[in-house]
Amino acid sequence: MAALAHTLHPARTGVLAVPLAALAAGELLVADGRLLAAAIVDAALVLALVNAAARRPELAALSVVPLVRLLALVMPLGNVAPPYWNALVGVPAAAAIVGTSRSLGLTRRELGLRRSPLAAQLAVAATGVPLGLAAYVALRPADTPYAAAAAAAVVAAAVVEELLFRGLLQRTGGPLLATAAYGVCAIATGSAWFVLVAVVTGAWFSYAVARRPCLWGVIAAHGLAAAGLVLVWPAILG
């Protein structure tokens, strides 16, 4: 409760509302297909956030979010087979997360890469199955060729995303910022239902990590949900 009150303090909320609104504008441009404009907005946001981060460490963590979207826009995806696109973006994204965590003095343990009771983590992981089904119903992605390679890349990307949102962002800015940023990133899909599923998923993952500060359960849940979204549910229901 104290963490929530700290997160909802008007001064903090006001400072974070502006970059989140700018991030949402960039995501709307992506959803609308105006990718060059989105790249310019994201690059400007990255630069603004890192320059404002000297006094507010959560802004340094938040700068990684538009940076990851910018990487997705600038990486030469046309030269690589689609199943490897997430991996191509995930490698520099992981480097950004590791670098920012180090610059903020966060250890692996503080990011949530620590031991926790197995039963509790398995219970969290199991929620990935219905969340994957909900995401599939909301998004109905096209059937993918190279399904196994795509699933492996998507599960690896799930690790990077959890380190970013529930690790770095939640640790520095609190669960509300982590959930809001995760929901805003889903705007790029152009599906209001998927944004709703992402907000519910993000809120649940943030709650689980706030209750027991360990990422393994949410990483497994995210991986299961992602694999279900691109591989399992399209095969069963598609």
Partner 1 sequence: MTVFVPEAIRRAVGSTDYPALATGTGAVLVVLLIAVLVELQLAQAHGTTRYRPLRPLLVPLLLAFGFVVALRVAELLPYH
Based on the shown chain and the rule CB under 8 A, indicate whether residue 108 belongs to the binding site for partner 1.
no
Instruction: Report the distance separating Cα 96 and Cα 49, nearest Å.
Output: 14
User: At residue 228, what is the residue type?
Assistant: G
When binding is defined by CB under 8 A, the residue of 154, 214, 215, 219 that contacts partner 1 is: 154
- Does residue 218 bind partner 1 (CB under 8 A)? no
Shortest distance in whole angstroms from residue 153 CB to partner 1: 9
- Minimum gap (Å) between residue 205 Cβ and partner 1: 10
* Residue 161 CB neighbours (<10 A): 24
Is 179 near partner 1 (CB under 8 A)? no
Question: In the complex, what is the shortest distance from the CB of residue 5 to partner 1, in angstroms, rounded to a whole number?
Answer: 26
Task: Return the C-alpha torsion angle 142, 76, 193, 236, nearest 10.
Answer: 30
* 120 binds partner 1 per the rule CB under 8 A: no
User: Nearest distance from residue 211's CB to partner 1, in Å?
Assistant: 21
List, as own/partner pairs, every contact residues 34-40 make where C-beta atoms lie below 8 angstroms and the sequence separation is at least 24, other chains included.
35/73, 38/69, 38/73, 39/70, 39/73, 39/74
Q: How far apart are CA 115 and CA 217, in angstroms?
A: 10
Q: Which of 9, 103, 130, 143 binds partner 1 (CB under 8 A)?
A: 103
Min dist. Cβ of residue 117 to partner 1 (A): 25
3-state secondary structure of 53: coil
Distances (CA, A) of 182 to 20, 118, 119, 204, 205: 10, 26, 26, 12, 11
Residue 172 interacts with partner 1 (CB under 8 A): yes or no: no
What gap in Å lies between CA 84 and CA 91, rounded to an integer? 11
- Contact residues for partner 1 (CB under 8 A)? 30-33, 35-36, 39-40, 43, 46-47, 50-51, 53-54, 59-60, 63, 67-68, 70-80, 82, 85-86, 88-93, 95-96, 98-100, 102-103, 131-132, 135, 141, 154, 157-158, 160-161, 185-186, 188-190, 198, 201, 222, 225-226, 229
